[in-house]
Amino acid sequence: MIDFSDIKFDCKHFKTGLPCNKNKVLDVICNNCNHYEPIKTRILIIKLGALGDVIRTTPLIEKFRAKFPNAHITWITLSPQILPQKSIDKIYEWNFNSLYIIENLAYDIAINLDKDLEACILLSKIKAESKFGYTFKDNHISPATPEAEHKLITGQFDIISKNNTKSYLKEIFEICQFEFNNEEYLINLNEDLSTKWNQKFNTLSKGKKIIGLNTGCGPRWNTRLWPEESWKELASELNKLGYYPVFLGGELEHEKNKRMSEESETYYPGHFSLEEFIAITNNCEYIVTQVSMMMHIATALKKKLILCNTIFNKHEFEMYNRGVIVDPPYPCECYFGNSCSKGIPCMTYITPQTIVKAVTSLS
């Protein structure tokens, strides 16, 4: 038998109101269990969105695991499906129930890396011994510690942001009082779907190196779009060099990709769920993309990345020595702009030949 005082509420396997997996599988109870793992540090990460930003925050997991081996990590986000399920102990989707639970729990460390008002207010309400990132104070967004001041300032003033030479990862690691040492992105990959697409691509490519051409970038920054003729010419040039190009994209790019596929005789698998899109990407050796969610997916999957950048500060991107950033032939003047001040977006001046050269430099 067991007394109430014998229950290990601090065990990593404990489930509120339900038997833990060890009890279900091994029929053990707390006073005769050899699998007791006491939680030493409870950590909460608040990173809501967008998808790409959530992915590029995941290197912190490795750092926290290294410093706090017996930590229990909780993450609240708008995009739970993108997070690595095996690396995070509890993932909450942003909703009323999740907020109610989190606000009534206590943590040792709480981090908010979103500057959105709701995320900052949440951190201000959390019970935690240490807080990092952005909080809410005196009726406005505020740094939880001095380390967060730099990124708050660069986010407020373009002229300062343009001169920033720190990568996003270096900045968020500093905010959490760490040093970035090339800790990798993590992502939720469906291995079964990846295997399915591996078999299909092996049949289609006949041993050629597969290059995913991601033609979309989302509607927020339309200045990142590359002309269709450039994509088709790039696919043709890569095909001549012995690569196997594949058009990729989401629902917004579906009609465009179908059209380009027919006109250039380049394979386009169609558009799928995010889970399957990640599995398809995993079967490409190279990815060509504008700054988009795809760059973060490709980085998490350790792909060779050719990144076209115009309107952003290229220093913020971490390429892990696996990628090349391609700029237009002259500096873009439309920093974070959704329309071009000169009428012709700088992406237009990036040539397919420049992309081909970048691809071959990574071969």
Q: Distance between CA atoms of 130 and 120, rounded to whole angstroms? A: 15
Cis peptide before 50 (omega within 30 of 0): yes
On whether both 112 and 171 belong to a single domain, the answer is yes
User: Could you tell me if residue 284 is inside a domain?
Assistant: yes
- Under a CB-based contact definition with an 8 Å cutoff, are residues 300 and 58 in contact? yes
Residues of the chain with pLDDT under 70: 221, 334-343
Bridge-based pairing of strands 243-248 and 209-214 is parallel
On whether both 301 and 320 belong to a single domain, the answer is yes
- What's the pLDDT score for residue 303? 98
Last residue of a domain, one of 132, 150, 175: 175
Tell me the two tokens of residue 58: 């995941």
Q: Distance between CA atoms of 65 and 56, rounded to whole angstroms? A: 17
CA 49 to the chain's CA centroid:
9
On whether both 22 and 57 belong to a single domain, the answer is no
CATH of the domain at 65: 3.40.50
On whether both 67 and 2 belong to a single domain, the answer is no
Q: End-to-end distance of the chain based on CA atoms, in angstroms? A: 64
On whether both 271 and 336 belong to a single domain, the answer is yes
CATH of the domain at 278: 3.40.50.2000
On whether both 93 and 30 belong to a single domain, the answer is no
252 Cβ contact list (under 8 Å, min separation 6)? 216, 218, 219
Give the residue among 155, 116, 154, 149 at the shortest CA–CA distance from 132: 149
- What's the pLDDT score for residue 102? 97
Q: Note the residue count of the chain.
A: 363
- What's the pLDDT score for residue 48? 95
Q: List the beta bridge partners of residue 349.
A: none
On whether both 317 and 338 belong to a single domain, the answer is yes
Q: Distance between CA atoms of 145 and 31, rounded to whole angstroms? A: 42
On whether both 152 and 208 belong to a single domain, the answer is no
User: Could you tell me if residue 148 is inside a domain?
Assistant: yes
Quick check: pTM over 0.85? yes
User: Could you tell me if residue 152 is inside a domain?
Assistant: yes
Give the residue among 344, 20, 301, 274 at the shortest CA–CA distance from 186: 301
- The number of folded domains in the chain is 3
On whether both 46 and 123 belong to a single domain, the answer is yes
Last residue of a domain, one of 175, 200, 224: 175
User: Could you tell me if residue 181 is inside a domain?
Assistant: no
User: Could you tell me if residue 182 is inside a domain?
Assistant: no
On whether both 148 and 257 belong to a single domain, the answer is no
User: Could you tell me if residue 255 is inside a domain?
Assistant: yes
Q: Distance between CA atoms of 154 and 143, rounded to whole angstroms? A: 13
Last residue of a domain, one of 142, 175, 208: 175
- Under a CB-based contact definition with an 8 Å cutoff, are residues 218 and 292 in contact? yes
Give the residue among 154, 109, 104, 105 at the shortest CA–CA distance from 130: 109
User: Could you tell me if residue 208 is inside a domain?
Assistant: yes
Q: Distance between CA atoms of 258 and 265, rounded to whole angstroms? A: 10
On whether both 75 and 124 belong to a single domain, the answer is yes
- Under a CB-based contact definition with an 8 Å cutoff, are residues 47 and 74 in contact? no
- What's the pLDDT score for residue 113? 96
- What's the pLDDT score for residue 341? 66
User: Could you tell me if residue 180 is inside a domain?
Assistant: no
CA distances (Å), origin 165, targets 2, 44, 151, 323? 59, 28, 12, 18
Q: Which domain holds residue 24?
A: 1-38
On whether both 137 and 269 belong to a single domain, the answer is no
Q: Distance between CA atoms of 212 and 283, rounded to whole angstroms? A: 9
